[in-house]
Amino acid sequence: MLITCVTTTLAKSGLGIHKNKIVLTADSKDEFVEKINSLLEDENLYAEISKSARDYVQQSFSWREAVLKLELLFKI
């Protein structure tokens, strides 16, 4: 399943996302409305962002990545 995300700048920074094509950012009610409407109206934009988001999650939050980070953490 592919979904998109519209989030605030603060929330985006907490996820470590630096590219604009993974999530859309909005910091006001009007910006949220604009970004959500753009996703609803533009199928290509929706497809591009949802695929990029899924790829990002799979690469950044997989079990493999988590284990590698833990192994590095415990190598003292």
Summarize the confidence of residues 13-28 as an average pLDDT. 84
Angle between helix 43-60 and 29-41 (nearest 10)? 100
What band does 76 get if pLDDT is binned at 50, 70 and 90?
low
> Is the pLDDT assigned to residue 56 strictly greater than 90?
no
Predicted TM-score (pTM) above 0.85: no
Classify residue 66 by its DSSP letter: H
Query: Residue 61: in which H helix or E strand, if any?
Result: none
Domain ranges of the chain: 6-74
